[in-house]
Structure 1
């Protein structure tokens, strides 16, 4: 999972898959998408790092939350971390975009792993429909293939521009 976020970041930045290692701490990059510049903070997901996430919430317009659609065991942790994050005052007005990742895997990998949870199942598992004050969207994505990333980013850009 750790590499998925960074793989997505580089896919958006340079348009190709870049070999990555898990993010330890913070990785900051600038991504320009459709003439809109994003300052992206790729935060490591290890349990020991999560308490420090809040240090980077100030001036955040959008949160892109990447969830492994094939890892049903971590859905509960993903939900509790997401709920805690969205309770922070600095993120009250941030748009939430969830990437339900690993949706288009190679057939051999798909057989070896559980079937991916659909985006609507993932939304329900994360409790997204119950979010009252948060504008959210969920997208079916694949970090390695790039599937769904353009659609998700296009919708995010449109939503951010409509707020201006």
Structure 2
């Protein structure tokens, strides 16, 4: 329960304790979307089969309700991503930072998301997962290969009210080691209205 309490504490501190949000968990297959969703839901690390059909979970942490959608990442599943863009509050895009051969494919999908008009004002949290595996990409490498160098908005509290800059940032993490993604959620939570 430590992770749930910690996450609740962050959301209360940031004033999000009575908000509802719709968050999409996107990325290629085997990036860690389902693992992250279940880690947030019940802090259990379970081996999952590839997601075949879109699933949603309501995460209630304190007085906060998040409807999280895990849409799968295999090629056929990516065709339905657009069906879920309506009224989305945030996108969490996971990249397997160890599987460098798939970086071009992950970049194509991310570019399509970032250029879609329906998501023009939606904050994006990019999580470079699996940093616990030796030779996984560094944050700088991941930003370079995803074409995000000089396009991120900053990891601190960034006031974007007076600009047309989309909140977008990269955080490296290891879901299985429960590290890194908490900082990403802290960053993201400041942009959920």
Aligned match for 2:177, one of 137, 145, 149: 145
Q: Secondary structure at the match of 2:191?
A: helix
- Secondary structure of 1:129's partner? coil
* Residue 129 (structure 1) shift: 3.4
Q: Deviations over 1:115-162 (max 9, x none)?
A: 0111121112111236584321111111211111221112211232xx
**Where do residues 14-163 of structure 1 align in structure 2 (5 Å cutoff)?**
14-33=42-61, 35-105=63-133, 110=134, 115-129=135-149, 131=151, 133-160=165-192
Structure 2 length as normaliser, TM-score?
0.72
2:59/2:68 contact within 8 Å kept: yes
Given the superposition, is the C-alpha separation of residues 64 and 33 from structure 1 closer, same or farther in structure 2, using an over 3 Å criterion?
Answer: farther
Distance 1:79 1:33 in 2: 32
Indicate the SS of the match to 2:32.
helix
> Where do 5+ consecutive residues of structure 1 fail to align?
none
What CA RMSD, in Å, does the superposition of the two structures yield over aligned residues?
1.9
Hey, which bits of structure 1, 4+ residues long, moved more than 6 A?
none
Q: Using the alignment, how far apart are the partners of 2:185 and 2:59 within structure 1?
A: 11
Alignment match of 1:6 (pick from 34, 45, 48) = 34
Q: Distance in 2 between matches of 1:21 and 1:2?
A: 9
Q: Is the 8 A contact 1:100 1:140 kept in 2?
A: yes
State the distance in 2 between where 1:100 and 1:35 align: 29
Q: Aligned residue pairs: how many?
A: 153
Take 1:139 and 1:34, find their aligned partners in 2: how far apart are those partners? 25
Tell me, which stretches of 5 or more residues in structure 2 are unaligned?
1-28, 152-163
